[in-house]
Chains A and B, each alone.
Chain A
Amino acid sequence: MSENIPSTGGAEPVDPRTAQRWVRTPPIDIFETSEGLVLRADLPGVAPESLELQVQDNRLSLFGRVHAPLEADAQILHQEYRVGDFVRSFILSDDVDHDRIRAKLADGVLELTLPRARKAEPRKIVVQGGEPS
């Protein structure tokens, strides 16, 4: 479920550019493909350069910093979402090939490709016979 963790205090954030920042949990989709898994996350307001992805042990964590496209003195009149940074982490299953994880961020949507590790292919062993003399 989504959760709102105020980083400072509980008062209504008026100016999104001040120190008062919210942490939000982005909604995600995960689906299977023939090569592995694809994860998509909605990160509106996150630019590619302000998204951090990290894999440590089996935990993949994402942190997306949101830069509000507003003048500093903008006063909020009506609020349906809170401006805040996106944080979420996932446990990767053992068969995900960590070295081949790819990430793409476009129009505020992150797409992570999590390929399955390649299974050992059956390998033929060539038998060399001795030359008949």
Chain B
Amino acid sequence: MRLFRWGNALEAFRDLQQEMDRLLESVNLASDGLRYGQPYPPTNIYDAGSAFLITVELPGLNASDVEISLANGVLTMKGERGANEGVPGDQYRRCERPRGSWERQFALPERVEEEGIRADLRNGILVLKLPKSPSTQPRQIPVNGGAATVAGASGGEGQGDV
């Protein structure tokens, strides 16, 4: 089970992935097939301003083959591509296309409007649109000035974990 989180953890993950890509490219191994542990199905996540977009490559599946559910802020997608599509195994000369059942989970950030999520599967690409909730606008917090004596003892502690 894979759980995916938005926020700082994501940044760290992306940095790591880029670092790995650089490393692999430097030894000329950076092709899709050679990176072990590649999650299936391949999924991209975009920030499109007013919404997050999740795109998933699912060739050969139609809408009834994919099940998407949402519970406790976790989005679960699962589906299956049938083995061999009725063709006996000994008739294959080449067999590269992945098949089988899969499941992926994504923890939604709090700023997503769950009621407005839409999913659309076309030409083998699933597009999930997750509208951001309007409460994500930046809010000004007024700073009250006080006596200078309080600040000295705990100074800097609050900024330590950025």
Question: Do B46 and A77 touch (CB < 8 A)?
Answer: yes
B139 within 8 A of A: no
* Segment of B51-59, B143-151, B152-160 in the binding face: B51-59
* Segment of B32-40, B72-80, B111-119 in the binding face: B32-40
User: Total interface residues on A, using CB and 8 Å?
Assistant: 40
Looking at the assembled complex, report how far the CB atom of A120 sits from the nearest CB atom of chain B, in whole angstroms: 26
Question: Do A31 and B124 touch (CB < 8 A)?
Answer: no
Residue of B nearest to A27 (CB): B96
Task: Annotate B78-100 by CB proximity to A: 1 below 8 A, 0 otherwise.
Answer: 00000000010001111111100
Question: Do B49 and A44 touch (CB < 8 A)?
Answer: no
B107 within 8 A of A: no
Question: Do B94 and A107 touch (CB < 8 A)?
Answer: no
Residue of B nearest to A4 (CB): B31
B102 within 8 A of A: no
A1 within 8 A of B: yes
| Chain A neighbourhood of B92, CB < 8 A | 29-31
Question: Do A79 and B44 touch (CB < 8 A)?
Answer: yes
Give the complex CA separation of A74 and B61 in angstroms.
25
Give the complex CA separation of A73 and B87 in angstroms.
43
Give the complex CA separation of A75 and B50 in angstroms.
12
Question: Do B38 and A109 touch (CB < 8 A)?
Answer: no
Residue of A nearest to B33 (CB): A2
Question: Do A42 and B18 touch (CB < 8 A)?
Answer: no
- What are 30 A-B interface contacts by the 8 Å CB criterion? A2-B32, A4-B30, A4-B31, A10-B25, A27-B98, A28-B96, A29-B92, A30-B92, A31-B92, A40-B97, A42-B59, A42-B60, A42-B97, A44-B57, A45-B123, A46-B123, A68-B55, A70-B53, A71-B49, A74-B46, A74-B49, A75-B47, A76-B47, A77-B10, A77-B46, A78-B14, A81-B43, A107-B62, A108-B57, A108-B59
- List 15 additional contacts besides A28-B96, A79-B45; criterion CB under 8 Å: A2-B33, A4-B31, A28-B94, A29-B94, A32-B93, A42-B97, A44-B58, A44-B125, A45-B124, A69-B55, A70-B53, A76-B46, A76-B47, A79-B17, A108-B57
